[in-house]
Every structure is written in structure tokens, then in C-alpha cells.
Amino acid sequence: MKHFKTFTFIISAILLPFFLSAQDNPIINATVSGRVTDAKTTEILIGATVSIKGTTNGATTDANGEFSLITGQKLPFTLIISYIGYQKKEVLINNGKIEIQLEENTNQLSDVIVTSRRRQESVQDIPIPISVIRGFAAEDAGAFNPNRLKELIPSVQLYSSNGRNTTLNIRGLGSSFGLTNDGIDPGVGFYVDGVYYARPAATAIDFVDIDRIEVLRGPQGTLFGKNTTAGAFNITTRAPSFTTGASFETSYGNLNYIQAKASITGALSKKLAARVSFSGTQRDGTLFNTTTLKPTNALNNLGFRTQLLYTPSDNVNITFAGDNARQRPDGNATVVAGVVTTKRAAYRQFYAIIADLGYKLPTTNPFDRVTDADSPWRVNNDFGGASVNIDAKIGKGTITSTTAWRYWIWDPSNDRDFIGLPVLTKSQGNSRHDQWTQEIRYAGQFSEKLTGVFGIFLIDQLLTSDPVQTEESGSAQWRFSQSSTSTLWKTAGLFDGFGTKTTSRLKTLGAAVFSQVDWSITDNLHLLPGLRFNYDKKDVDYKREIYGGLQTTDPALLALKNGVYTNQSFNFSVDENNISGQVTLAYKPSKTFNVFATYANSYKPVGVNLGGLPTANGITLIELAKVNPEFVTHYEIGIKTRPTPQSTLNITIYNTDIKDYQTQVQTAEVGVNRGYLANAEKVSVKGVELDGNIRVGNHLSFNTAVSYTDGKYISFKNAPVPLEETGGTSAFKDISGGILPGISKWAGSIGGEYSRAGKLLNLKGNHFVALDAYYRSLFSSSASPSQFLNIDGYALLNGRIGFRASNGVSILLWGRNILDKNYFEQLLPAAGNAGHYAAVLGDPATYGTTFRFTF
């Protein structure tokens, strides 16, 4: 931490003269604001793109059709305005407050403007496969957190059994499937306003005041600070505005669903603007707990975000941001989904065990949505931080400094046996994570034919148990752990209150230098090479101590206890450095056709095991503490087209090979919390993606996306056996050729919206009706392929109907999973591999209404 602060201070001192030199005398009317409307009806246009011609500066209109730009350009200058179904328009402006009217045009589908390459450009011009969801579109579709986005972008996979155990993948790659181990870095970058979020728990938090979500697919390590081997989420929130405005939203639905959102923005002085945003969500549980006699798996989320924008000159913008999000749901309970006959002896099968204990499952149908979990549930998840972002226009580019601190506090209590017996009565993996990041980059034009990005990045992380992590067994543990017919297993109190207390500390330091340039060989042919140097260092201290149970000196009884939990400790340091890069060749013979080919290699940092290590003959396998870094080799060909002025159609073909793939594996040992990490020698993922949009007339639009993904273990010769093979002659097997978990071969989404001008209660505006469908085929829910832990394919249908008034009022009725499809999101073997496995259930049909007002 000391070295990090020293480095940040030195960099700030070096950059200060540049920032000061950029502070020219203020230019009058540097703030430009206005409203975009329909030229014929004067209806406001929400989500129109407004940019300053010849610059990277731009914005989109809000729910009141308004926009605000902070610019260093001297008036007059030209604005470019575009909107779906309307003619693109260039307007020369001479003052800071304007109203722009657009004419309808059935022959034009507007551009979507993004900033993923650190400049504003059309998504169709970027030689990267990228999906963009605008904030208002996500809100209308009910995608209020990243988990909902997978229904809109089929290349995205997100699995979550609770806030901590969250996996965010793109094309099936990024993080290990299943239960999270804090010792590895995610392979999908998650950025909010340029700040990297290191913990997967960030993706469990509700969005707060989102303007745009850009999802980039494939390695992106030469554009972003943190290395991203599988892709990146680049999320932009709504910025403070010098024009006063506010929005309020409330939603009500079944299961006592209530959601409220609010955002207020405006000028505090001539050079200072602010935005304060809030989001809160509550909903009753979707399962019923027969032990507590009340619903469980509720939603209880709160989020706040505050931003200050300071403009000391027209060439410098400084944004201070702070946010806090918290979740206090009533549990993340699962339901027993099935029972597998393992290769263990008959007396060790699940049904024989519970019969001896006089227990019966409350139901054998998981879609009865009933659980009898008897351990108290606690899922306290806190996430937040603060950042300072400085943008200074220097020459023909912009230098950006982003300094941020973030924290994550995880305070859980789970029932790891999934049933109403006191087997594993406590599972409390308390953790605290603090991260400090510093990114500095320059993006701009280096010469007439050369543009690009150059940057440096530092991340310092500290992850600790907070203060200890606890696992504890109950009175029924003896029968589930019983591995012989000895009567000693029945010794009274042998396992009652027997558990472990773990203290751990992981200190991580990462540094990188990255660059990507765009060389315009000709106007139509561009070469884009990129290079990255990574350095990663991790220091680990891990100590687990047993406690409780029957206090005895009998060696035979101690051996039984040690078969469940043992003392374990290790500490070591590891560091790695590597050079990676990519090169893209892009050819754009016309405005309607863009083709590109990319070769990239990338590294995912070295990992460590922080959930306990497996044993062999009572000896801890310390050599498994280190997890080798992944090496990724990636090839991709993409074509982006506009078959007609009213449509786009894009296709991408890719192949990704990974050496030393980091995977999470389940073990039969109760004492290995949440499984452990291992390396598969080689995996391969290849596929095809297609997406398109079309507008029919001025009132009807469609969008679709389809992905085919084939992910396999090319070589994994020492993988743990699947659940059904537990107790066989070997605990490991060769699963080479098996499918990777979490990947559906086919996934797709399709949506459409019809709108028409009209009135509602004397309000002028647009009526609309929209439907969205999402489908995915069968996928494996086990790191080692299992014939029992496959999830059948399913399709979901969502819809909404409503009215958007020109005065900023919106009213809609919505439904999600309106056909009430029963489906699993994830299947999880219980700790100890007794044969039963649980399911994370998808939500049942939900419906409600939303009222939104913006002024």
C-alpha cells in the first residue's frame, strides 16, 4: 500500500503541469444543452445521440429528451444528431441552449455511439464484436442488474447462488464455473465509469442510473487497464449536468415487488455540477421454508451514487464519484433437485442415510419451490467506493487519470447440506476486500494516419477473512461422513459443534503498461496492433484450526474427526510477468460493409487456493496451493454490414484455445470449502455469433442475436470424478473431450417493439408494445461432465405495454417469464458428495407496473 501511494503521488506530480497547462482561459458558452424533438409532432425523442462534429464529445438525450455537453470547443461548432427512424442531422449552433427537430425517415437506422476504444464512434465502425444496451432500454426490459442482461446478450453467461458465488462469463470463459474461490482473478473485466471492479460480487448489485452498457467479446487487454482475457463490461452512468433535471420511478408487482429510483442533477455553481442517484428494490421470496414457515429468497437491495463535475477550464473535466450498495435478502436458499446413486456402499447412499436418521425430504419436485433448510440464512453484501477522474484535452487527444478505492464486505451464513438435518450447520465465509487502482492513459491522434491509446495501470488488493471464516457440523454429520461399519461413528456428540475457524490474507499487486494504435494504411484499410506488459504478485497466508466436537484422546475417534476436518496452514509468495498482445486488420470498402480479422494472445494471472486444500492419506496437498496462469490464444473474423439503410447484420467467427485453464472442482471432502482450484491442461472454445436490427417503417423495430458455442476440454487427465462416480476405484479421471460447464451450444434472443403516436388522458406521446424472447439449449452444471448434472434447455418470454408522454411521464405494464416456465439456473452437489444435489431456480412469472416521471 505504501509503494502504491508513493507511485500515485509521483505520477500526480508529473501530470500536474499538463493539467494546469490545459487550463486556458474559460470560453463563454462552454456548456451546451438542449432538447431533441420530432419535427412534425414536437414529441420528445428519448435516447437520441448528440455529438460534436470532429471530437470525441457526445451524449444521449434523457427521458425528457434533453442533453448536456461540456466542451472546450469555441462557438460556433456543429452538432451531429441521430435517432432510430429519423434522418441524421448536422446543426451549426451559436449559443448554449437549443432545440433540435428531427424529421422521420423510414430509410435510416441510426448509429449507436460507444466509447470502448476511448473515443466516440459508431458501433458498426469498430473492429470488435460488441453489444450495446442503452440505459433506458435496459430499464424498460427490467434488466436492473447484470444477471438480467444475459437474456438480451446470449454470449453472456451469469450464474449466482449468492452474491459471493457469482460467475460472469462471455462465450463461456472468464471465471471458474460454480462456487467462487477468491484466489483467482476474473477473466471478464467489469468497469463502471472507467473504474475496474475486481470482485465478482459486483455483478450481483443493482444498476444505479445507467446510461449505457457496452459488452465487448474476446481479449481486450490492450484497451483496458486490467487484463481481460474473455471480454469486458464497459458501463457508463449518467453524468452530472449543468442543466437542472430529475427523474423518479416506482414499480409495483406480484410477490410484493417494489422498486424505486430517483436521480437529481443540476449546477451548484458556474463550474460545479452534481448528480445524486438512488435505487431500491424489495420483493418477497420465491421459495417457502417449511422450517421457518415463511418465504425465503427475497430481494432487499439499496444503492446510492453521488457525482460532482468540476470544470476549472474548458479543457479540463474533473469528476468525483462515490457509491454504496447493500443487499440484505432473506437467504439464497436452494432446493433439492435430485438424488444420484454413487459408487459408494449401499449404506452410504443418500436415501439409506436419511432413513437411518428418520428424515424425509419435504418434496421430491424442486418446482414445488419448497425447502426445509434449518440453518439461519444471512446474505449481507456491501459494496462501494470512491473515485476521481480527470480528463484534460491536450493537443489532438485527451489524457485521463482515474484514481479509485473500492471495498467489498461479505457477511453470510449458509446451509451447505441443503436439507432440514443438522449436517453442516454453519457456513460463514466472511470476507473483506479493499482495492486501490490507478490508471493513466492518453487517447488521441499521434499523426495524420496514426491514432491510439497508451496507458499504465496499477492495482493493489487486500482480501482478508473478516475476522474468521467458520464451518461447523451438527449432530447428523456422523451418518453422512460414515465410511465404515464401525460402531464408533455413533459415539454421542462426536461431531456436534465440530468445525473450523479459518483466517486468511491475500495481498495482490498488479501492474501493466498497455497500448493499441490504429494505423490508417489507406482510408479503407487499417492495421491495429496492440501490446501489453503484465506483472502480478500474490502473497498468501492461510491458517485453519479445528474446534469443538467430542473432546477425546482416543486415537480411533480422533481419526474419524480428522476424516471430516483437519488443521491446515500454508503461506507463500508467487509472482509472474508476461507480454501479450494482439493485431487486427480491418477493411471497410464502403459505409455499409466492415470486415476485420484479429489474432490475440493474453494471460490470466496466477491464482492461489483460498478455500482449503484436498488431502491424500491424511497429508495436505500443498502443491495444489498455486494455480498456474492461463495462456490464451485467440483468432477471430468479423463482418459488420448494413444490408439496407433500415437494418444491420453482423457475424463473428472465433476460436479460443487456453493452456492451463483455471477451473473450480468439487471434491468429496467436506473440509475443502467451496471446492478447490486446479488447472486443466488445455481447453478450446469456438463459435459463431450473429446479431442484427431492422426497422420497418417508422413504428416497428426488431432485434435478434444468436450464438453457437462449442467448448471442450482438449486435455484434462487428472480431473475429479463427477458426482455419480464418487466412491469408485479412483477419485480422479481423464475427462479430455468432455464439454465445459455453463456453455449452451445454442443461445439466442429476439425482440420487437411497435409504437405509434397518440394520447392518454389528454397527454400527447407514444403508445408501445414490446416482446422479448430468450432461449438457451442444454448445458452442463458440473466441472467434470455428469449425466445427472445437465440443465435442460429452456425459453423465456418477457413483454411490456405502455405509454411514453412528451412531458416526461411514462407508464408501462410488464411481465417477465410470462409463460411461467420452470427452469434451473444452476445445479450444485451438496458438500461431501452424499448423492443429493440442489438447484438454483429461475424466477417464476412476475408482473407489475412502472410509473416514471422526468423533468
**What is the mean predicted confidence (pLDDT) over 51-67?**
77
Are the C-beta atoms of residues 646 and 107 closer than 8 Å to each other? yes
Pairing between strand 188-192 and 231-237? Answer: parallel
Percent of the chain with pLDDT over 90: 57
Give 173's DSSP letter: B
> What is the model's pLDDT at position 667?
61
Query: Cβ of 676: how many Cβ atoms within 10 Å?
Result: 26
pLDDT interval class at 377 (50, 70, 90): confident
> What is the model's pLDDT at position 665?
67
> What is the model's pLDDT at position 571?
86
pLDDT of residue 170 exceeding 60:
yes
Q: How far apart are CA 642 and CA 19, in angstroms?
A: 41
Q: H/E element holding 5?
A: helix 2-21
> What is the model's pLDDT at position 125?
82
| DSSP codes of every residue in 526-570 | EEEEEEEEEEEEEEEEEEEEEE-S-----HHHHHHHHTT---EEE
Comparison of pLDDT for 808 and 288, the residue scoring more = 288
Average pLDDT value for the chain? 87
Comparison of pLDDT for 645 and 387, the residue scoring more = 387
Per-residue cell: 541: 497466508
Q: How far apart are CA 648 and CA 551, in angstroms?
A: 71
pLDDT tens readout for residues 544-575: 999 999 999 999 999 999 888 888 888 888 88
pLDDT of residue 27 exceeding 50:
no
pLDDT interval class at 674 (50, 70, 90): low
> What is the model's pLDDT at position 356?
96
Identify the weakest region by mean pLDDT among 27-41, 217-231, 396-410, 530-544: 27-41
> What is the model's pLDDT at position 185?
87
pLDDT tens readout for residues 594-604: 999 999 999 99
Comparison of pLDDT for 579 and 148, the residue scoring more = 579
pLDDT of residue 628 exceeding 70:
yes
Percent of the chain with pLDDT over 70: 91
pLDDT of residue 2 exceeding 60:
no
pLDDT of residue 104 exceeding 80:
no
pLDDT interval class at 15 (50, 70, 90): very low
| DSSP codes of every residue in 742-802 | T--SEEEEEEEEEEEEEEETTEEEEEEEEEEEEEE--EE-SSS--SSSEE--EEEEEEEEE
> What is the model's pLDDT at position 19?
43
Q: How far apart are CA 552 and CA 13, in angstroms?
A: 64
> What is the model's pLDDT at position 16?
42
Comparison of pLDDT for 765 and 442, the residue scoring more = 442
Rg of the chain (C-alpha set):
28
Q: How far apart are CA 801 and CA 758, in angstroms?
A: 14
Comparison of pLDDT for 395 and 142, the residue scoring more = 395
Comparison of pLDDT for 372 and 332, the residue scoring more = 372
Q: How far apart are CA 46 and CA 67, in angstroms?
A: 10
Identify the weakest region by mean pLDDT among 134-138, 327-331, 791-795: 134-138
pLDDT tens readout for residues 772-792: 999 999 999 998 999 999 999
pLDDT of residue 273 exceeding 70:
yes
Query: Cβ of 496: how many Cβ atoms within 10 Å?
Result: 18
> What is the model's pLDDT at position 210?
86
Per-residue cell: 329: 435478502
> What is the model's pLDDT at position 107?
47
Q: How far apart are CA 436 and CA 403, in angstroms?
A: 8
> What is the model's pLDDT at position 5?
47
**What is the mean predicted confidence (pLDDT) over 315-322?**
95
Query: Residue 186 pairs with which residues in a beta bridge?
Result: none
CA distances from 516 to 232, 378, 453 (A): 16, 45, 5
**What is the mean predicted confidence (pLDDT) over 116-133?**
80
pLDDT of residue 109 exceeding 60:
no
